[in-house]
Amino acid sequence: EDKVVQSPLSLVVHEGDTVTLNCSYEVTNFRSLLWYKQEKKAPTFLFMLTSSGIEKKSGRLSSILDKKELFSILNITATQTGDSAVYLCAVVGANAGKSTFGDGTTLTVKP
Amino acid sequence: NAGVTQTPKFQVLKTGQSMTLQCAQDMNHEYMSWYRQDPGMGLRLIHYSVGAGITDQGEVPNGYNVSRSTTEDFPLRLLSAAPSQTSVYFCASRDSGANVLTFGAGSRLTVL
């Protein structure tokens, strides 16, 4: 059975700090790993990673995948209060119809 | 573009009542799924479908039924509601050639 473990479960930082969120996974026939952001409503897509070592970047957010060690990290630099959210990691494996999610990391950015 | 539409947004039920959460998408996506999200937890898969007429169970299917008679619609039925089914429910869809899910706005269900 596919499994996703995120750490830490919660994190409190101050504006301007840099944070690193972790996602480790076990999946049969890996297809992709996805990061979503959830702000008290439906999750919205951030990144999809399929290849090791290739960084995806969008503004202050970036993510990278290590398929050998089975993990991904999401970095947020110069955090802002608007980054406060739950960040969810999900994997798609052999059963393409299923996306398996971790429990999420709740990030709180204080002014 | 409506995307994924879920109804109702809020519902209060008494233990033992039945109800259906509706989900419709207008993007011609083949894959649809239902998740529940409890406080402090991620999304747990209830049921999913890879096309009209095809459904399968996820991690937490007990107490729920689904059907997929059309590509657009994927209703979730609670047969006999229990307090343990108090949760926020999300419907999601995606194209078979892509892995990115599009979510509905969610339905908050309370079972007393």
Task: Quick: pLDDT tens for B7-27.
Answer: 999 999 999 999 999 999 999
Is A6 within 8 Å of B50 when comparing Cβ atoms?
no
Cα–Cα distance for residue pair A48/B10, rounded to 1 Å: 31
- The answer to whether the Cβ–Cβ distance between A96 and B50 falls below 8 Å is yes
Q: What is the mean pLDDT of chain A?
A: 95
In terms of Cβ atoms closer than 10 Å to its own Cβ (0-12, 13-18, 19+), residue B27 is: middle
Question: Are the Cβ atoms of B42 and A31 closer than 8 angstroms?
Answer: no
Backbone angles phi, psi at B104, to 5 degrees: -75, 175
Distance (Å) from the alpha carbon of B105 to chain A's nearest alpha carbon: 5
Interface of A with B (CB under 8 A): 4, 6, 9, 31-32, 34, 36, 41-45, 48, 88, 90, 92, 96-104, 106
Model confidence band, residue A102 (pLDDT cutoffs 50, 70, 90) = very high
Question: Residue A42: is its pLDDT beyond 70?
Answer: yes
Q: Which residues contact B72 (CB under 8 A, 6 or more apart)?
A: B24, B25, B26
Q: What is the pLDDT of residues A69-82, one digit of tens each?
A: 999 999 999 999 99
Mean pLDDT, rounded, for B77-105? 94
Mean pLDDT lowest among A38-42, A43-47, B1-5? B1-5
B49-85 pLDDT, tens per residue? 999 999 999 999 999 999 999 999 999 999 999 999 9
Q: Which two tokens stand for residue B112?
A: 């007393």
A97 closest CB neighbour out of B35, B48, B104 = B48
pLDDT of residue A70: 95
* B50–A97 C-beta distance less than 8 A: yes
> Which band of pLDDT confidence, cut at 50, 70 and 90, is reported for residue B1?
low
Tell me the CB-side half-sphere exposure of residue B2, using CA atoms within 13 A. Answer: 11
